[in-house]
């Protein structure tokens, strides 16, 4: 009995010792400023790939370089994927069960390409599509293995030409330390080329908040998740040259195959961004090929580079001391922030931007079927657009009223605008 007890104690000591050894070795593997990246499947319910998609618009005419079609493609609808500076033709045959073909060799010969039959997918909180093609891989320009570039194409039922979206099938992740604190990091292939080197290119040539570049993520709050924000500090961002953690900038270097990542402390060249009037407080969200930015204040020192405004909010006191707050609309297309839409920060030079009052109020009118939708539009001095539901002393103002009158001044309709 005593021998049996000693044996149990010995096993417990070995187990505890093995656990401690594993813990020590696991901690030792987390390096300062660098790490190996492991390949993982994308979680469709997560936010990590929110920016790593492309929205492909249908084209009724084939791209010029398309030379043929696969057999049976009698109702073709054409698309193009932007990948590593190339436009890759995609064709979908519109039918009860659609088929898709991608010019993976980028040679215009589709008759010899593999065709993908759509599979039905269950709707989720982040994906309401009902068809999925893939996984698909493109052939990199350097001829290397393309397995890392696997992606899906998601769409609604394609009885008629509609937009489709690409979505990565995998991402790469690891852990590193910066100034003694551990962070989880990740990279995502956003342009379907199987490589992790595509920086954000500005200005965007479309109206959506989709960077069409690779994506970098860092778990800043340590909750084990990657969270995205378009109007505040974000843990998920388009890939740039630099990453800002607290008040420190790090140069970002990723192995082209995504197997490793390094962040090295750096002091970039700076310029200045200042907004006027100087009695206003601005809140600004910027994408950049230099470093992703969330700003609040009036003047900032920014790394040299190109910047695109994604969101802006203005806060200003009037003569009576009341605080008025105005914010841009995240549901509308980009390109409505006036001078903040796109600007360049140059070394040692100030970039001054005037926004805010005096405001002009206009109406945005849309007609769909037998209904007419009228939305008020608030436009600042630089042409920037704000939502009409501004706040006074951090409270939403009462419902706005409106009247529609004819040329004789007769009131035809008098009503209130509805929020949402």
Q: Are 194 and 151 in contact (CB under 8 A)?
A: no
How many CB atoms lie under 10 A from the CB of residue 317?
13
pLDDT at 144: 55
> Which residues contact residue 390 at a Cβ distance below 8 angstroms, ignoring those fewer than 6 apart?
324, 325, 326, 327, 378, 397
DSSP 267: -
Question: Per-residue confidence at 148, pLDDT binned at 50, 70, 90?
Answer: low
pLDDT at 3: 45
CA torsion through residues 64, 66, 68, 71, sign: negative
Question: Per-residue confidence at 402, pLDDT binned at 50, 70, 90?
Answer: low
Q: Reduce the DSSP state of residue 14 to 3 states and report it.
A: helix
CA distance 97 to 75: 12
pLDDT at 130: 72
> Which residues contact residue 215 at a Cβ distance below 8 angstroms, ignoring those fewer than 6 apart?
48, 49, 51, 52, 187, 188, 190, 236, 237, 238, 239
Taking only the tens place, the pLDDT of each residue in 186-205 is 999 999 888 899 999 999 88
At residue 5, φ and ψ (nearest 5 deg) are -65, -40
What is the overall mean pLDDT for the chain?
84
pLDDT at 252 over 90: yes
pLDDT at 146 over 50: no
Q: How far is CA 396 from CA 257, 323, 399, in A?
A: 50, 12, 9
pLDDT at 248: 95
Taking only the tens place, the pLDDT of each residue in 59-77 is 878 888 888 899 889 889 9
Taking only the tens place, the pLDDT of each residue in 19-45 is 454 444 344 468 899 999 999 999 878
Q: What is the pTM of this model?
A: 0.83
pLDDT at 419 over 80: no
Peptide bond into 358 cis (omega under 30): yes
pLDDT at 86: 85
Question: Per-residue confidence at 413, pLDDT binned at 50, 70, 90?
Answer: low
pLDDT at 273 over 60: yes
For 152-156, what is the mean pLDDT? 86
CA distance 328 to 312: 6
Q: Identify which has the larger pLDDT, 309 or 373.
A: 309
For 93-115, what is the mean pLDDT? 86
């Amino acid at each position: 009995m005593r021998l049996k007890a000693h044996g149990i104690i010995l096993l417990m000591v070995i187990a505890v010792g093995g656990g401690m050894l594993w813990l020590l070795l696991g901690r030792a593997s987390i390096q300062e400023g660098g790490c190996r990246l492991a390949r993982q499947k994308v979680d469709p319910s997560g936010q990590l790939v929110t920016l790593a998609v492309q929205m492909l618009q249908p084209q009724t005419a084939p791209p010029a370089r398309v030379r043929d079609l696969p057999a049976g493609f009698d109702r073709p609808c054409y698309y193009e994927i932007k990948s590593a500076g190339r436009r890759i033709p995609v064709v979908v045959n519109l039918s009860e069960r659609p088929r898709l073909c991608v010019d993976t060799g980028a040679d215009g010969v589709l008759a010899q390409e593999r065709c993908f039959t759509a599979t039905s997918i269950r709707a989720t909180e982040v994906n309401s599509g009902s068809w999925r093609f893939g996984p698909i891989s493109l052939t990199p320009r350097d001829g290397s293995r393309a397995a890392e570039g696997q992606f899906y194409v998601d769409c609604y039922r394609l009885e008629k030409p509609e937009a489709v979206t690409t979505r990565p099938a995998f991402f790469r992740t690891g852990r590193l330390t910066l100034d003694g604190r551990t962070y989880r990091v990740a990279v995502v292939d956003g342009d379907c080329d199987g490589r992790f080197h595509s920086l954000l290119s500005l200005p965007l040539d479309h109206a959506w908040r989709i960077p069409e570049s690779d994506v970098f993520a860092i778990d800043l709050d340590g909750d084990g998740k990657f969270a995205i924000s378009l109007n505040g500090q974000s843990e998920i961002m388009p890939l740039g040259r630099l990453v800002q953690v607290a008040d420190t900038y790090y140069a970002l270097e990723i192995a082209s195959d995504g197997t490793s990542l390094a962040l090295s402390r750096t002091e970039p060249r700076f310029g200045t961004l200042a907004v006027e009037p100087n009695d206003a407080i601005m809140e600004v969200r910027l994408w950049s090929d230099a470093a992703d930015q969330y700003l609040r204040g009036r003047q900032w020192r920014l790394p040299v580079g190109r910047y695109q405004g994604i969101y802006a909010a203005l806060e200003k006191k009037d003569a009576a001391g009341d605080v008025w707050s105005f914010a841009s609309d995240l549901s509308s297309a980009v390109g409505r922030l006036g001078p903040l839409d796109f600007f360049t920060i140059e070394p040692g030079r100030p970039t001054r931007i005037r926004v805010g009052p005096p405001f002009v109020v206009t109406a945005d009118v849309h007609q769909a079927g037998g209904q007419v939708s009228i939305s008020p539009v608030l436009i600042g001095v630089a042409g920037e657009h704000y939502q009409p539901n501004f706040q006074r002393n951090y409270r939403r103002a009462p419902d706005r009223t409106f009247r529609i009158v004819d040329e004789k001044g007769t009131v035809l309709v008098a009503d209130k605008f509805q929020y949402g």
